Amino acid sequence: MTEIIIGMRSLLDLMKSGNVPRQGSLMGKAVNYLDHFGNQAFLYRKDGEYTIDNSLTERCVRPLANERKNPLFFGSNKMARVSAAYHSIVSTCKLQGYSILEYLKKFFAKMVAGNRDYGKLMPSTIGISANKL
């Protein structure tokens, strides 16, 4: 991987020097972008927290793609916000490995009992076991 990055940097330097035939405006934008953000583009190699892609994010957002046009049918902004909150809860439960049904049962039972400490009503703190999808 390091050889590829070094090769890209060499090609970038060559293109910036003007010793190659002039490229189109899109190539010029790409060269300027890589020159400006080149170090940030490869940060994932230095820190294990970063990933090379955003597949996890895209998988989380994919179910919402079907609802792009649905806000027209919610009837109000309030119901659109309710839908967004619902999908946030469902996605959080999926990512953390909690059963959505078990979480919602426990959440509403605690809400009916009068618990309004929302920090203790999160999937990870409400008292359900993980990996029960």
Rounded to an integer, what distance in angstroms lies between the CA atom of residue 28 and that of residue 66?
A: 36
Which strand (E) or helix (H) includes residue 56? Answer: helix 55-65
Percent of the chain with pLDDT over 70: 83
Q: Is the CB of residue 100 less than 8 Å from the CB of residue 128?
A: no
Count structural domains, the chain. 2
Identify the pLDDT of residue 109.
92
Q: Is the CB of residue 71 less than 8 Å from the CB of residue 80?
A: yes
Q: Is the CB of residue 67 less than 8 Å from the CB of residue 83?
A: yes
User: Which residue range(s) make up the domain with 28?
Assistant: 2-45
Identify the pLDDT of residue 50.
67
Q: What is the pLDDT of residues 18-52, one digit of tens each?
A: 777 767 778 778 777 877 777 777 776 777 676 67
59 and 104, same domain (yes or no): yes
60 and 117, same domain (yes or no): yes
pLDDT beyond 70 at 124: yes
- Listed residues 25, 45, 65: the one ending a domain: 45
76 and 113, same domain (yes or no): yes
3-state secondary structure of 22: coil
32 and 73, same domain (yes or no): no
Rounded to an integer, what distance in angstroms lies between the CA atom of residue 118 and that of residue 125?
A: 10
